[in-house]
Structure formats: structure tokens, C-alpha cells
Structure 1
Amino acid sequence: MKNKNGMLVVFSGPSGAGKGTILAEYLRRGTEAVCSVSATTRKPRPGEIDGVHYHFVTKEAFEEMIQKGEVIEYTCYNGNYYGSPAGPIRKLLSQGKDVILEIEVKGAKQVRDRFPGALSIFVMPPSFEELKRRLVGRNTENSEEIRGRLETARREVAMALDYDYIVVNDVVSDAADRLGYIIESARCSRKFNRDFIEEVLENA
């Protein structure tokens, strides 16, 4: 007997820390974990596919999802809603699949408050100097925007101690290894096995 449900994994970190790169490497290795597809009210960007990159919905539809409790976390950024639809996540978890939410710290807190059994992991850069180097190397933002990213990163890193685990992304393959070790270890944790323990006691 064991917990047959999948694990809900909250995966956060500042912009430039390499969250997406680590996840891509981890998923490439054949794990059955899946990344949750967020919903948003912003317009699709060139190359983005509905249901793959995001679920693109209207503002009215998203607000109805909020009222009905159909998102497990959400935020509003630059006038657009972003959030994690509850239905697909619950279905995947019931099928025994681990579901990874790559979300920012405010949304992560909502999930941890609502689902105390969730595993939370924060991705750290080796240093702020390295984080700045990565942001500059992307060549997607000007110096003022990069300063803003770094200031936001300082605030987010201050919240890292609220998470269960910290992964330092120095080498991507090593960070992906650590992610896998953490998830496997968490399967033996008290909070992941609470329902299983209660079931055993009920049938004792």
C-alpha cells in the first residue's frame, strides 16, 4: 500500500535563475511528471499555441473561473490575469502523475496555503553577479529593465526560506539531478503520506 496520487510541485525562482532550463532537462530524462499549463488573458505571442504554452481565455472567462474556484492560484500582471486551472491539475494528480507548477512567488504562496501537502522548491542562481550576467546575455532587455529584474529578484530570494528545498543552478544537469533527488525523497515525507497513513489506521 502507498500513496497512489501524484505530487504537486511548486517550482519558483527569480527571472534568469534557469527554472525553465532545469525543468526541460528534468523532463527530457523520461520522467512521467508534467508541467501545468497556465491560463492567461493576454494575447498569444507569435509561435505560441493554445493549450501548449498557455490556455488563452477572455478576461470574463477568467474572472468566472476565479468566482467558481476553478484556479488554484492567480495573479494580475500588466493588466492581464495568469493562473493555474484546478481541473486538469486534479485529474493528473489522481492519475498518479506529478504536476509541476512553474510560478512566481505570490502564486506559490497561494498554492502552499491551499495545498499544504505540496512540495515547494526555489531555484537560486549561484550569485547575483551570475544572475546579472545571464540576464544581460539574453539580450532581450535594456539596462533599466535588467536593474528592475534584479531588484525583483532580491525581494523574491528573501522569500526562499519559505520553501521546502533550495536548488542552486550552477550546472544545469546537476540542478536537474537535484530536482529528481528532491522529488524522490519527498515521496517518503510525512506530509505526502498523510492520507496513506490515515487510510492504514482506518483499516487497522
Structure 2
Amino acid sequence: MNETRRGVLIVVSGPSGVGKSTLIDRFLNEDTESRFSVSYTTRQVRPHERDGVDYYFTDERNFRELIEKGYFLEWENVHGNFYGTPRAEIMSVLEKGKDIILDIDVKGALSIKGQCSAARLIFIEPPSVAELEKRLTLRGERDIQTRMRRVQEEIALKGQFGYTVRNDDLERAYAAFRKAIEEIRRKKNGTNNC
């Protein structure tokens, strides 16, 4: 019997500034079986970002049209900006037998978990709330108080994730992140259910 490998939907989430992108980028540079899901957003492009690579940047009018068409697997309004995960792109990668990694907010991750029983969730947590506040301040984020309230709400939901990685030391966090993905691959149930 020749079974075609089915990809795994891996959702990485956690508070803003916790280091999700750093862990994901490193993993994708070392792994040939995974792809990154490029989300849509209405937020402004940051200096180092490229359209179609980091995000698909669009305006709110176009984003709302895509919502109406059912284009997104999930979408959220985060800090006044819309973010959405394109359904067709996810399914295409999974059907080709590749794993797909999403970097999305906690509410979006739980929404996907509700729609896709085969999705596997990894929560990246900060070493402490104080350290995360320091990181966000250094990164130049605005409205730190609002973001920190959201951090508390998101950390309270980490128990709904299958895996938690504490990012207090990059090498240790990366080893735990990689181990979680390897375990997810070993345990996958062979169905996408999305």
C-alpha cells in the first residue's frame, strides 16, 4: 500500500514580541518538509518586511471583501488591524504532503483548533511579563498598556494548547520548539479535517 504523506497544520502562537518569528524562521531554514503560511493584514508595512513574503499587505476594504467571500480560514482584528489566514493556501500545502506553520494570535489559533481537529498548537511564552514589556518597549511598540493587558489574557489561555515553549533562552527555546514539532509529526493522525 502506497500512502501519500499528508501535511500537518502547526499553529504557533503567543503574545506579541515573544519570539515566535525567530523560532519559526530558524526552523524553516533547517527543515525542508515545512512551509510558512503568509497571512493577510491591513497594518502598515514595517521597514524589514516584504509583501507576499512576510504578509500580504492590503487595505481594509479589500480585506472585508475577502471575508465576505469566505477566503479566510480564520481572521481577527488585533490592535485595530485585521489579520487573516488564507484557506486555499493552507489546504494546497497540506495536500502536497508538506507541513504548514502559521504564526497567528491566540484567538486565531483557538479558532483554527475549533475548525480543524488535526491542527496542532504550540504556545510560545515569555520568560516573564516584565521581560516581554521590556522587549515591546525596545521594539518601539505603541500603546504598551493595551498590549500588556492582552498578554495577560493570552497567557491565561495557554492551557488550551498542546505544547508550550518558554522563550527565556533562545537555544533552549529552539530545542524545545523543534522537539515539539518532531513529536507532532510522530503523533499525527493522518487527516486534515479542515
The 5-angstrom pairing of residues 66-145 of structure 1 reads 66-77=67-78, 79-138=80-139, 140-141=140-141, 145=143
Contact 1:187–1:193 at 8 Å: present in 2 too?
Answer: no
Contact 2:124–2:165 at 8 Å: present in 1 too?
Answer: yes
Which digits, 9 at most, give the CA deviation of each residue in 1:121-156, with x for residues without a partner? Answer: 100112223223323333x146xx333322211111
Q: Which residues of structure 2 form unaligned runs of 5+?
A: none
Contact 2:6–2:191 at 8 Å: present in 1 too?
Answer: no
Poorly superposed stretches of 4+, deviation over 3 Å = 41-48, 57-61, 77-80
Which digits, 9 at most, give the CA deviation of each residue in 1:8-55, with x for residues without a partner? Answer: 111111122111111122223244312111112345444543211222
1:193 corresponds in structure 2 to 189
TM-score (norm 1): 0.82
Cα gap change, 1:87 to 1:150, in 2 (>3 Å): same
The more displaced of 52-61 and 13-22 is 52-61
2:42 corresponds in structure 1 to 41
Whether 2:26 is the aligned partner of 1:20: answer no
Distance 1:29 1:136 in 2: 30
Which digits, 9 at most, give the CA deviation of each residue in 1:79-99, with x for residues without a partner? Answer: 543101111111111111111
Cα gap change, 1:126 to 1:114, in 2 (>3 Å): same
Which is greater in Rg?
1
Identity %: 40
TM-score (norm 2): 0.86
Distance 2:110 2:81 in 1: 19
1:146 corresponds in structure 2 to 144
* Count of residue correspondences: 191
- Cα deviation for residue 162 of structure 1 reads 0.7
Distance 1:46 1:132 in 2: 22
What root-mean-square deviation, in Å, do the aligned CA atoms of Structure 1 and Structure 2 show? Answer: 2.3
Q: Which residues of structure 1 form unaligned runs of 5+?
A: 197-204
The 5-angstrom pairing of residues 177-188 of structure 1 reads 177-188=175-186
